[in-house]
């Protein structure tokens, strides 16, 4: 996730370190210094979280967001966001992002089950790399599960570790021969989440097994395409639609494997996503090669990392970022509308009409 090619070369690692530090993803050991601009930004975000924390609610009203860190039988860990009636309280994600959630609150039991979406992070990302999206999706009435894959540079309860950002042999930009064995551990992680969450005594009874979707950023997009059938041996028929944020496509374009995907797909890209979006939008690219229903949403000014928390910049209060930053708002609104159309059966007319805030909007059945 934290690497982006430019003319076939990697971004300077020093730039990566700069982005991490300025975005507040890195947390040193011990308490933060109580001076400086970054401290003041976080202090204001924490105050907003305290002010906006919602009291307990009831079914029939707007539900709150619960959050739990779950460990699966394989040792895999994941963040789970979900609707709840419990009162929210301020919560600090690793990396100094503040929000208001009901930690370990009960899943709201309001008469109907919820769709489940599994979110797969990018290479060097982690379960909490896109909380502006995962929280918003839970507020929209979904159970969202985001595992930490073994290539994660941060974790659901730990900040980024700089040493993991150095080039590694398994990085997508280091590989040339791809097969169904490439990153298969990611497919296995998603299968573990699906199998065990559906059977979980807390979540299982609230999940609609006929309404399961996938979402992923960068290598997470590669992961979800594989599970949708691009790698036939990975295919999981339980997944009914996939939402892809600047997805890593090289293995599938080389072998025209996208023809094997027969469920609805939305690609999101950006005008500053120089490494990946051109492979989606060009004639004969991923969008053209995909079966319908298919969508491409081009976001003006978005680069590869804008589908991570870096899009929030110095807005460290998650709901503030999601509501008030144009790129985050467009990512969420179009992504949720797509999932609502194919997992909830809603019309969502915004998917069919032009929007001057977008650089491109395409769809075909």
pLDDT of residue 35: 55
Topology of domain 5-364, CATH: Rossmann fold (3.40.50)
Domain boundaries, the chain: 5-364
Nearest to 179 by CA among 218, 238, 242, 222: 222
Give first-to-last CA distance, the chain, whole Å: 30
User: Tens digit of pLDDT per residue, the chain (365 long)?
Assistant: 544 443 333 344 433 433 443 344 444 334 444 556 655 565 666 666 667 788 999 999 899 999 999 999 999 999 999 999 999 999 999 977 999 999 999 999 999 999 999 999 999 999 999 999 999 999 999 999 999 999 999 999 987 765 454 456 667 766 668 999 999 999 999 999 999 999 999 999 999 999 999 999 999 999 999 999 999 999 999 999 999 999 999 999 988 899 999 999 999 999 999 999 999 999 999 999 999 999 999 999 999 999 999 999 989 999 999 999 999 999 999 999 999 999 999 999 999 999 999 999 999 99
What pLDDT shows up at residue 233? 97
Q: What is the pLDDT of residue 347?
A: 95
């Amino acid at each position: 996730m934290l690497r982006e090619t430019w003319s076939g070369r990697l971004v300077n690692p020093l730039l990566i370190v700069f982005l991490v530090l300025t975005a507040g993803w890195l947390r040193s050991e011990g308490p933060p210094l109580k001076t400086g601009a970054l401290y003041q930004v976080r202090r204001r975000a924490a105050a907003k979280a305290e002010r906006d924390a919602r009291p307990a609610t009831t079914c029939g009203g707007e539900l709150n967001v619960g959050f739990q860190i779950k460990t699966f039988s394989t040792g895999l860990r994941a963040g789970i966001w979900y609707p709840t009636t419990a009162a929210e309280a301020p919560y600090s994600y690793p990396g100094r992002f503040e929000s208001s959630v009901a930690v370990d609150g009960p899943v709201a039991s309001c008469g109907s089950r919820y769709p489940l979406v599994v979110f797969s992070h990018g290479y060097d990302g982690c379960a909490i790399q896109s909380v502006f999206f995962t929280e918003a999706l839970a507020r929209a009435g979904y159970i969202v599960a985001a595992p930490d894959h073994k290539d994660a540079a941060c974790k659901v309860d730990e900040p980024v570790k700089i040493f993991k950002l150095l080039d590694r042999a398994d990085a997508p930009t280091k590989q040339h021969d791809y097969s169904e064995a490439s990153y298969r551990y990611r497919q296995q992680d998603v299968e573990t989440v699906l199998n065990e969450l559906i059977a979980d005594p807390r979540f299982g009874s609230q999940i609609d097994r006929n309404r399961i979707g996938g979402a992923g950023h960068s290598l997470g997009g590669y992961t979800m395409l594989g599970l949708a059938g691009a790698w036939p041996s990975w295919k999981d028929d339980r997944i009914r639609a996939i939402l892809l944020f600047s997805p890593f496509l090289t293995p599938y374009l080389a072998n025209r494997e996208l023809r094997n995907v027969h469920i609805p797909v939305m690609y999101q890209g950006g005008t500053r996503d120089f490494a990946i979006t051109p492979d989606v939008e060009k004639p004969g690219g991923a969008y053209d090669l995909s079966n319908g229903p298919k969508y491409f949403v081009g976001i003006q000014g978005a680069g590869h990392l804008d589908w991570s928390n870096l899009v929030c910049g110095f807005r460290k209060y998650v709901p503030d970022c999601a509501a008030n930053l144009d790129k985050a708002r467009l990512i969420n609104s179009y992504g949720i509308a797509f999932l609502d159309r194919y997992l909830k059966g809603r019309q969502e007319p915004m998917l069919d009409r032009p929007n001057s805030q977008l650089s491109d909007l395409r769809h075909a059945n």
